[in-house]
Structure 1
Amino acid sequence: MVEATVYILRCLDGSYYTGITKQPVEARVWEHNNLPDEKSYTWNRRPVELVFSETYDLVKDAIAREKQIKGWSRRKKEALIALDYEGLPELSRRSHLIPKP
């Protein structure tokens, strides 16, 4: 079984980058900060800092989670980074359509 890690980086400009890796996440963060890749989102936003990670047993689950997080607002990503799982539903872009009790 191959594990995969979904991670969020905080970039120098304050933006967030969400990615996935099958290598140790610390090694991937090192690559973002040290390897030349001028086409990478993080290239001109270094240094980057790891602020969140989740590891999955199945790569397909990690890919699905990465896609989910990439679709989230900044506020929702920050709630995830703060491990505020209870607050996530309220930050949904469509939460205004859900009747409140």
Structure 2
Amino acid sequence: MTCFTYILYSRLLDRYYVGYTCDVLQERLRKHNTNHKGYTGKSNDWEIVCSENYASKTEAYSREREIKSKKSRKYIEYLIQQKK
């Protein structure tokens, strides 16, 4: 099973969102862009700007927590630049 840690960006909000999934990444993006009460429900223009593949849910979740623990937009933008 392939799992992903991903970073989304909304131009409307000028915000990033970090998450993980073991679903198809494009399907997860579609869910983020639907009208719902969660953090990403505030906008429907989210796009995937970075993703990393992992062999397990545990690894993907651990990486998500690592990125979020930095609490740094600069770090997120650094990761995005490294993946280009």
TM-score bin, normalised by smaller chain: 0.7 to 0.9
**Does the alignment pair 1:9 with 2:8?**
yes
Q: Over the residues paired in the alignment, what is the CA RMSD in angstroms?
A: 1.3
| 5+ long unaligned stretches in structure 1 | 85-101
| 5+ long unaligned stretches in structure 2 | none
**Cα separation, 2, equivalents of 1:71 and 1:80:** 14
Residue in structure 2 matched with residue 87 of structure 1 by the alignment: none
Structure 2 SS opposite 1:82 = helix
Structure with greater contact order relative to length (CA < 8 Å, sep ≥ 6)? 2
**Cα separation, 1, equivalents of 2:82 and 2:24:** 21
Q: Which amino acid aligns with 1:37?
A: H
How much identity, in percent, do the aligned residues show?
35
Residue in structure 1 matched with residue 67 of structure 2 by the alignment: 69
Q: Output the TM-score relative to the length of structure 1.
A: 0.74
Q: Output the TM-score relative to the length of structure 2.
A: 0.88
Query: Looking at CA atoms only, which structure, 1 or 2, has the larger radius of gyration?
Result: 1
Structure 1 stretches of 4+ moved >3 Å: none
2:41 to 20, 31, 43: 43
**Cα separation, 2, equivalents of 1:83 and 1:24:** 23
**Does the alignment pair 1:27 with 2:27?**
yes
Q: Deviation of residue 46 (structure 1)?
A: 2.3
Query: Which structure 2 residues correspond to residues 56-95 of structure 1 after superposition, within 5 A?
Result: 56-72=54-70, 73-83=72-82
Structure 2 SS opposite 1:5 = strand
Q: Which amino acid aligns with 1:7?
A: Y
CA contact (8 A) 2:21 2:57 kept: no
Structure 2 SS opposite 1:46 = coil
Q: Deviations over 1:40-89 (max 9, x none)?
A: 101113211110000100111111100001122100100001117xxxxx
